[in-house]
Structure 1
Amino acid sequence: MVLMVSGGADSTALLVMACTSQLDLDDGRGAARIARERLHVLHVNHHLRGAASDADEAFVRELCARYGVPLCVEHASFTDLGGQNLEAAAREVRYAAARRYVRELCAEAGCSRASARIVTAHTASDRAETFIMNAIKGAGAAGLSSIPRRRNIIVRPLIDSTHGELCRFLEVKGIAWREDESNQDTSYLRNFVRHRVIPLMRERNANVVRNVGAACDILGDEDALLSKLAAQALRACTRRQQDGLIVLDGARLASAEVAIARRMVRLAVRQLDEGARLELRHVEAVLALVAAGAGSTTLPDGIDVRMEFGACALRTAAAREELAAGWLTVPGRMVLAASRVLEASALRVPAGTDAVALARDAARDAAADEAVAFVDAAALGYAERDLVALKEAGDGSATLARGARLWVDSPAPGDLMCPLGMHGRSKKLSDILGEEQVPVAERQLVPVLRTAPGGSVVWVGGIRLDDRFKCTALSRVLIQLTIRPLDSAVDVRSVG
């Protein structure tokens, strides 16, 4: 168990109570004495106040020596805040140090990290201040639930006590504590709330801090429930997921209650990029695309969101630099990795012509640096009656009326297909790539064409066609798929 002790009144009271009294660590046992051998203290010297910071460290060292508790001191510097404010950066440093210390202690003791606890001295006063600060900033339910009693291994046993109560506890014990003079500077939002806002609120209700704490408990419980429901809805809504890419069912997302839909968007982005900081306007922009059924937007950290053909695809900036993932319309084209382009066009098979022979001859005539495959449009659900009336071009070119399209992405674990020639028997895509001696490091660059995100594999670009979508003697409309070098590509959007 690691107690985070700065030397201020709250953390000093935490250490004294842990050594001499009982604490409720939210482990189901209620308030209980803690075995002395379990106690360890962490102090982080941020070196922000010069000699005063060193005096804080000396005070904590003396306090730990008095109670016989092992102490670990970490030193921090803040040359690059990475866009954070100083308070947030310092908090991040403290918790990172605490997690490191816990790992070290667990390794020494040979125990599970899940059994460890990081104990902080947050109080009801801190909780009320955070609630008001987040309300000023315009936070949602998660922010307004403020500081939780427990989050994973981090517990806050003093969350029901006010700062004033802990100061009085130390005074009765005759124990001094350190004061940080910067806590009086009301240019900081927390200090402004502490010294200006809350005193005004107390004039109306002396019990305001505890009332806010009760509201935080309620909001926290409701936030946890909504988050659970949103996570379940997101799993049901996810049509495709791989590194850097999540594809959601647009209809399901659009039909979700707005409170759940907002959380689904946040959870999806968090799965792609834990550090992306979304604001409400970003979430609303995504939901507006979903409601419109089309469009695109860019989220923080360069996450690209595109809504088209009923699917909402979220893609990281790094993923966009690799194999493209998205819809390929017919006719249409998509630029792939390694300076290649994937093109699609529709062909009407002339009466009396053998479609299989036509496809074989066209594939034979393809250039050496091209890969060509022909798919039966009817097998994808498109028939000859879906063809748009064409100008008499004389080359058999056609355009499909109902927006024919294929989803393009990369191989995913568990992918199966029915390779051409195996008469409907399925085979793992990973085995096919292995037989073709495609290096594992290069497999993510292999384009896989599917009926939809997460749908049946139609063609593994340049490698294998699925038997279910092959052209036959009865095929009347073919979709030609071609992969060629980008500099030799023809814009097939002009075909037909």
Structure 2
Amino acid sequence: MVLMVSGGADSTALTLMACTGELDIDDGRGCARIARERLHVLHVNHHLRGEASDGDEAFVRDLCERLGLPLCVEHAHFADLDGRNLEAAARDVRYAAARRYVRELSRQSGTPRTAARILTAHTASDRAETFFMNAIKGSGAAGLSSIPRRRNIIVRPLMDRTHGELVRYLQVAGQPWREDESNRDTSYLRNFVRHRLMPLAAERNPGVARSVGAACDILGDEDAFMSQLAATALRSCTRREGSGLVVLDAARLAAAEVAIARRMVRLAVKRIAPEARLEMRHVEAVLACVAAGEGSVALPEGVDARIEFGTLSFRTPTERERAATGWLPVPGSMAVAGGRVLESAFVRVPEGHDAVSLARGLSAEAGGGTVAVIDAAALGYASRDLQRLAEDQRWGASAAQGGADGVRLWVDGPAAGDVMCPLGMQGRSKKLSDLINEARVPLAERAGVPVVRSSPGGAIAWVAGVRADERFKCTPTSSMLVKLTIRPIGDV
């Protein structure tokens, strides 16, 4: 149980209550006393107010010494904010420190991290202030839900008390606390809301903090329900997902209710860029492109949203899909872009059977261009070698994995100037870039299209999922075939 204590009135009251009273740590038992040996205190000295910051640290040290609580103090410095405001950066530092402390305590005690709790001193007053701050900035339902009572192991047991009530509690207990002079500076939005807006609202409703808190609870429950619906809709709408890439069916997204569609956009971006903070203007711009059936939008964290061939793709700048490069043994497999796997296997043509019909049947079973069947002899291997390797496959061995004499294919991505003879064009050549464009492969996915070649820089045998090459097609005289399959990892 880690208490985050700054030395202010709220966190000082939290510490005292944890030691002498009862708190609800949201473990299903309601309000109960916490065993003293479970309590640990974390204080982060941000060094933002010079001697005053050191005074806060000294105060918390003295408080913990008097109460007999173990204390961990961390020091933070803010030379580079990386585009964040100071308040957000300081908050990130505090929570990161709390999680590290929890991991260390869990390791020492041999207990699961899920059993730990991080307690913060947020109050009903804080929650109401955050509500108004987010309303001023133009937040949606998630922002207006304000500070949640619990998020994973982070619990806020004072959410039903106001700051004024905690101050009176400390005064009765004779317990001093520290005041941060910067809290009076109304140039900060929170202080403006606290000292200017909240007093005006309290003139009409003295219990405004609790009233707003009740509204936040309702908004939070409804937001969670809507998010669940959006997540389900997003799963049915997702056509491709990989590292740094999510591709959605634009028509399905356009058909969704706008309240769900907005959340689907946010969830999709969150999957590839968790730190991206989308504003309403970003989401509306993406949905405008979806409605128009064309266009692109630059989103935070460098995420690119683009409409192409009936799809909406989101991709990050640093984790774009790239085609795997290397040898594909036959039989064997290799992982390729988009969370997929490329597999190869020998298929012997039984005596008396037509190789062309067999190849067509194997391709038709999968459909969608996910299977190609080529003539193994067209790869330039002697018939006796193909027979021997097929026998190895039959007995579960993979000679191609270990020996230089094994059948293998080179796999890479599309390269400038690539030309092939697409199957069905009677030997006429075509630029690979034109073929991929005609196949309506979105721009975001083109670099990740696996190209199977006879050798590095050699003839193209198959553009996976697009088209095989005429030069490697099966003929009535084919006796040994190579079956190539591309599928999502995990599918069987």
- TM-score by structure 2 length? 0.72
Task: State the percentage of identical aligned residues.
Answer: 64
Q: Distance in 2 between matches of 1:67 and 1:124?
A: 26
**Consecutive unaligned residues in structure 1, runs of 5 or more:** 324-336, 339-408, 475-496
CA displacement at 1:186 relative to structure 2? 0.9
The answer as to 2:5 corresponding to 1:5 is yes
Give the corresponding residue for 2:194.
194
User: Aligned to 2:166, what secondary structure does the other structure show?
Assistant: helix
Within 5 Å, give how 1:240-319 maps onto structure 2. 240-319=240-319
Higher mean C-alpha displacement, 464-473 vs 125-134: 464-473
Residue type at the aligned position of 2:22: Q
| Structure 1 residues 181-214: Cα deviation after superposition (integer angstroms, max 9, x where no partner) | 1111111111111011000011111111110000
Residue type at the aligned position of 1:20: T
Conserved 8 A contact 1:414-1:428: no
1:112–1:298 distance in 2 versus 1, CA, 3 Å: same
Q: Distance in 2 between matches of 1:39 and 1:255?
A: 52
Give the corresponding residue for 2:419.
none
1:462–1:160 distance in 2 versus 1, CA, 3 Å: same
Q: Distance in 2 between matches of 1:273 and 1:186?
A: 33
Residue type at the aligned position of 2:297: T
CA displacement at 1:222 relative to structure 2? 0.7
| Count of residues in correspondence between the two structures | 386
Residue type at the aligned position of 1:133: M
Give the corresponding residue for 1:351.
none
| Structure 1 residues 6-36: Cα deviation after superposition (integer angstroms, max 9, x where no partner) | 0111000000111111110111110011111
Residue type at the aligned position of 2:453: G
Q: Distance in 1 between matches of 2:260 and 2:158?
A: 32
Give the corresponding residue for 2:23.
23
Residue type at the aligned position of 1:202: A
Q: Distance in 2 between matches of 1:259 and 1:113?
A: 36
1:128–1:225 distance in 2 versus 1, CA, 3 Å: same
1:419–1:144 distance in 2 versus 1, CA, 3 Å: farther
Give the corresponding residue for 1:395.
none
Conserved 8 A contact 1:296-1:307: yes
1:67–1:240 distance in 2 versus 1, CA, 3 Å: same
| Structure 1 residues 418-472: Cα deviation after superposition (integer angstroms, max 9, x where no partner) | 989783188999x999787689xx8688999788789xx9974436437996568
CA displacement at 1:316 relative to structure 2? 1.1
CA displacement at 1:306 relative to structure 2? 1.6
CA displacement at 1:52 relative to structure 2? 1.0
Q: Distance in 1 between matches of 2:24 and 2:63?
A: 22
1:114–1:236 distance in 2 versus 1, CA, 3 Å: same
- TM-score by structure 1 length? 0.71
Give the corresponding residue for 1:214.
214
Conserved 8 A contact 1:133-1:193: yes
Residue type at the aligned position of 1:215: A
Conserved 8 A contact 1:270-1:276: yes
Within 5 Å, give how 1:32-431 maps onto structure 2. 32-320=32-320, 322=322, 410=337, 412-414=339-341, 423=359, 424=362
Residue type at the aligned position of 1:462: R
CA displacement at 1:84 relative to structure 2? 1.2
Q: Distance in 1 between matches of 2:92 and 2:449?
A: 48
Q: Distance in 2 between matches of 1:468 and 1:205?
A: 66
Q: Distance in 2 between matches of 1:87 and 1:187?
A: 13
Q: Distance in 2 between matches of 1:256 and 1:417?
A: 40
CA displacement at 1:50 relative to structure 2? 1.0
1:14–1:459 distance in 2 versus 1, CA, 3 Å: closer
Q: Distance in 2 between matches of 1:229 and 1:2?
A: 34
| Structure 1 residues 340-388: Cα deviation after superposition (integer angstroms, max 9, x where no partner) | xxxxxxxxxxxxxxxxxxxxxxxxxxxxxxxxxxxxxxxxxxxxxxxxx
Conserved 8 A contact 1:458-1:469: no
Higher mean C-alpha displacement, 241-250 vs 460-469: 460-469
Q: Distance in 1 between matches of 2:276 and 2:400?
A: 35
1:159–1:467 distance in 2 versus 1, CA, 3 Å: closer
Residue type at the aligned position of 1:249: D
Alpha-carbon RMSD: 3.4
Conserved 8 A contact 1:411-1:444: no
User: Aligned to 1:306, what secondary structure does the other structure show?
Assistant: strand
Q: Distance in 1 between matches of 2:94 and 2:60?
A: 15
Residue type at the aligned position of 1:214: A
User: Aligned to 1:318, what secondary structure does the other structure show?
Assistant: coil
Q: Distance in 2 between matches of 1:227 and 1:114?
A: 23
Residue type at the aligned position of 1:220: G
Conserved 8 A contact 2:23-2:31: yes
1:126–1:473 distance in 2 versus 1, CA, 3 Å: closer
User: Aligned to 2:200, what secondary structure does the other structure show?
Assistant: helix
User: Aligned to 1:230, what secondary structure does the other structure show?
Assistant: helix
Residue type at the aligned position of 2:251: A
Q: Distance in 2 between matches of 1:467 and 1:205?
A: 65
Conserved 8 A contact 1:410-1:445: no
CA displacement at 1:296 relative to structure 2? 1.8
1:319–1:90 distance in 2 versus 1, CA, 3 Å: closer
Give the corresponding residue for 1:462.
453
1:78–1:451 distance in 2 versus 1, CA, 3 Å: closer
User: Aligned to 1:241, what secondary structure does the other structure show?
Assistant: strand
